[in-house]
Amino acid sequence: MTSGCPAPAPTYAQQQMRAGTIAAGLRHLLHYIQSEPAVGQALALIDTDDLRGPLDGAGLQLLLHEIEAEHDRCAALAERDARRQEAGHLDGAACTCGHSDTLHTRHMTEDDRLPCHRPGCRCHDLIFELR
């Protein structure tokens, strides 16, 4: 294990520069929000806890990909739960292909299917037998 030196505390001059840079960015953004309220509404939708880097084009693009993936994942899991409940099964129930629901994809196909992931399984969609 290496114990590096702790980063030196920033000087007031550095802190001042940083605050000035952020303030300039915020003024710029506020200007856009005032002239284009839709920008402000869009920004208000973003949870800054989800951000792990700067809020620049690349950062927003990355966040968008992550949020879309999360949206897809939750949509697939919600669909899985709905199908399972509809059929009256509990968590971890098996599909008609014999594999557990958790072995099925967590990404809905274009035509709303949840195929099985198990190699060699030809199950095209997660289906529970009615109880």
Angle between helices 12-35 and 37-44 (to 10 degrees): 120
Closest CB to Zn ion among residues 93, 123: 123
How many other CB atoms sit within 10 Å of the CB of residue 68? 10
Let me know if 80 is exposed, middle or buried by CB neighbors in 10 A (0-12, 13-18, 19+): buried
Measured CA to CA, the distance from residue 22 to residue 109 in angstroms comes to: 42
Which neighbouring-strand residues pair with 100?
A: 94
Judged by CB under 5 A, the chain residues 87 through 126 that form the site for Zn ion are 95, 97, 99, 116, 118, 121, 123
Minimum distance of Zn ion from residue 33's CB (angstroms): 49
Closest CB to Zn ion among residues 29, 103: 103
Minimum distance of Zn ion from residue 80's CB (angstroms): 11
Closest CB to Zn ion among residues 106, 118: 118
Closest CB to Zn ion among residues 27, 122: 122
Minimum distance of Zn ion from residue 8's CB (angstroms): 57
Minimum distance of Zn ion from residue 74's CB (angstroms): 20
Let me know if 116 is exposed, middle or buried by CB neighbors in 10 A (0-12, 13-18, 19+): buried
Interface residue list for Zn ion (CB under 5 A):
95, 97, 99, 116, 118, 121, 123
